[in-house]
Each structure stands twice: as structure tokens, then as C-alpha cells.
């Protein structure tokens, strides 16, 4: 049974706390982009990924530095033990700073060098078609990552082959590691560019669970084209001093900052 919106919201709130705690305990990490993508990752895993199935939907976190979001969900689903959670980025831990599928197979793809994940997703989607596997491949891209040339080669290939089982979420939080993404290289109008490559394109509020679900369902009903869901998000969503602050693309969370962050998240959504 699908979770209702209130239940999804509670899970995202708990995942955000886990993200902050992992990075605080690990002594470093990338909170901003993990907090911005957690809501649609939450929906993808809750609604679309059934780990009990041999042929199941796959998730490629191309913006691999946001992996604390993925670890938080996989921990909740029982694939990462509580005892492992404090070991994020430790030298002897499975919880590396980017997804490593040999260590944690449920991450589906080893990523980290930006620009490569969509190519992996295209290959997975082609493989599913060959096997007559009707599940989806979800790829999570960052908006700064859209500046990578390999991304556009993969977009062209997916459109050419009409990979309708491929669904891309662009986590469009507007910030790269140091500044606004558009100041480095403007990627807009992103929807029109995807459409020119034979993609179905839609734009949503990436923190609106109803909109996320609707966009995914529309993508699954598309029979001839891959779909991109441009998710407008807030980098650092839920933590007051991190929101829309490029400083928190990556960083070390102090004791005082940890307390503020956890207080913010404890009251997130409370009017």
C-alpha cells in the first residue's frame, strides 16, 4: 500500500535528520544537495522500487555526492545496519562518500565523477528493453552536472532510441559548489532543450509529493520517449542556515550547527 502524503512527509523529515547526523558523525560531507533531492528520492523508493523482485526499477544517483540521502533511505529499508550509520566516510566503512555498488549493491551504480550517471542509466534502460523487463530506470542529475558534455551525448542517445523506461530527475536547486549554477554556465531553457532531443519534459516543485507522484505516473504512461522531470528544489532544504547557501554544498558541521540543524528539522512543517 502506498504511503499517504503525511506519511511521506514524516519519512522525509526523518531522512533529513539522518543525513545531518551522518555528515556530523563522519566529519564531512555534502548536505545541501542531499537535502534538496530527498523528497523525490523518497517517493521513488517508496512507490517504485521493490527489492523483492528480480526485475525491478533501478536508481542511479549520478550526483553521487548526495549519497547520504540514499543511505538514509536504504537504512530505513533495512539494507544498512544502525551500527554502520556512524561510519560515514570512514576508511573502513561501506558508507563511502559516493555510491559504491560493490559495497552496497542496492545503490545500483557506482557514481561520483559528475556526468557519467546518465550514460549508465541509458545502458540499463536498453538492457531492460532487451530482457522485456517493463520496470523503470530512474537517474538523478544535478543542475550543475548538466554542464557536462557526456550528459548531452546520453540525452541524445536516449531520445534517439525512444527509451520510454528511462526517467530523469534534475535536482534543480540553482546552486553549484560555490555560486549560482547559471553564473557558471546557463542551462535554461532546460525543458525545451530536452524536448529538442525527443524527450517528454515536465517541471514541478521538487518538494511537493503530489506533484512528484503525478510526474512519475505520467512518465510511466509515456510509450515512445524518455522523460525528464525538472524538480525545482531548495538546496539545504529544512535547515535554516543551509538553505540556498552554496557554502553548504559540502562542509563540516560543528557541534553548535548540528544542534541548530536538528532543532530546525524537529519543527519542519509545524506551523
Distance, CA of 9 to chain centre: 16
Is 271 a member of any domain? Answer: no
User: pLDDT, tens digit, for every residue of 44-62?
Assistant: 999 999 999 999 999 999 9
Is 205 a member of any domain? Answer: yes
- Cα radius of gyration (the chain): 17
Is 90 a member of any domain? Answer: yes
Q: Tell me the mean pLDDT in the region 200-227.
A: 98
Percentage of the residues of the chain whose pLDDT score is greater than 90: 95
Q: How many helices (H) and strands (E) does the chain have?
A: 9, 5
Mean of the per-residue pLDDT values of the chain: 97
pTM for this structure?
A: 0.97
- Which three cell numbers mark 39? 523528497
| Pairing mode, strands 137-142 and 166-172 | parallel
Domain range holding 102? 5-266
User: Residue 227's domain is classified under what CATH number?
Assistant: 3.40.50.970
- Is the pLDDT score of 271 beyond 60? no
Is 54 a member of any domain? Answer: yes
User: pLDDT, tens digit, for every residue of 110-149?
Assistant: 999 999 999 999 999 999 999 999 999 999 999 999 999 9
Distance, CA of 70 to chain centre: 7
Percentage of the residues of the chain whose pLDDT score is greater than 70: 99
209-221 helix and 5-26 helix, angle to the nearest 10 degrees: 100
Is 233 a member of any domain? Answer: yes
> What confidence score (pLDDT) does residue 46 get?
98
Distance in angstroms (rounded) separating the CA atoms of residues 179 and 230: 20
User: pLDDT, tens digit, for every residue of 153-201?
Assistant: 999 999 999 999 999 999 999 998 878 988 889 999 999 999 999 999 9
Q: Tell me the mean pLDDT in the region 34-40.
A: 98
User: pLDDT, tens digit, for every residue of 246-261?
Assistant: 999 999 999 999 999 9
Count of domains observed in the chain: 1
User: Apex CA 208: angle with CA 116 and CA 156, to 5°?
Assistant: 30
Q: Tell me the mean pLDDT in the region 6-13.
A: 98
Q: Does the N-terminal peptide bond of residue 189 adopt cis geometry, omega within 30 degrees of 0? A: yes
How many CB atoms sit inside 10 A of residue 6's CB? 10
pLDDT category of residue 270 using cuts at 50, 70 and 90: low
Q: Tell me the mean pLDDT in the region 68-89.
A: 98
Amino acid at each position: 500500500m502506498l504511503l499517504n502524503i503525511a506519511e511521506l512527509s514524516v519519512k522525509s523529515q526523518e531522512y533529513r535528520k539522518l543525513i545531518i547526523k551522518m555528515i556530523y558523525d563522519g566529519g564531512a560531507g555534502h548536505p545541501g544537495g542531499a537535502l534538496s533531492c530527498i523528497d523525490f528520492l523518497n517517493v521513488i523508493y517508496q512507490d517504485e522500487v521493490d527489492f523483492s523482485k528480480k526485475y525491478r526499477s533501478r536508481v542511479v544517483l549520478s550526483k553521487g555526492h548526495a549519497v547520504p540521502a540514499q543511505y538514509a533511505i536504504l537504512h530505513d529499508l533495512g539494507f544498512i545496519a544502525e551500527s554502520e550509520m556512524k561510519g560515514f566516510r570512514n576508511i573502513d566503512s561501506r558508507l563511502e562518500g559516493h555510491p559504491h555498488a560493490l559495497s552496497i549493491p542496492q545503490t545500483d551504480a557506482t557514481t561520483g565523477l559528475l556526468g557519467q550517471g546518465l550514460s549508465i542509466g541509458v545502458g540499463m534502460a536498453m538492457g531492460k528493453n532487451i530482457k522485456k523487463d517493463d520496470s523503470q530506470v530512474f537517474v538523478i542529475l544535478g543542475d550543475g552536472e548538466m554542464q557536462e558534455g557526456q550528459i548531452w551525448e546520453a540525452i541524445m542517445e536516449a531520445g534517439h532510441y525512444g527509451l520510454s523506461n528511462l526517467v530523469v530527475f534534475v535536482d534543480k536547486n540553482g546552486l553549484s559548489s560555490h555560486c549560482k549554477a547559471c553564473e557558471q554556465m546557463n542551462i535554461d531553457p532546460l525543458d525545451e532543450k530536452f524536448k529538442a532531443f525527443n524527450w517528454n519534459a515536465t517541471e514541478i516543485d521538487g518538494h511537493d509529493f503530489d506533484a512528484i507522484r503525478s510526474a512519475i505516473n505520467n512518465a510511466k504512461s509515456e510509450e515512445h520517449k524518455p522523460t525528464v522531470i525538472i524538480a525545482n528544489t531548495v538546496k539545504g532544504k529544512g535547515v535554516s542556515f543551509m538553505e540556498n547557501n552554496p557554502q553548504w554544498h559540502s562542509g563540516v558541521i560543528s557541534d553548535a550547527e548540528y544542534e541548530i540543524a536538528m532543532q530546525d528539522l524537529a519543527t519542519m512543517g509545524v506551523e
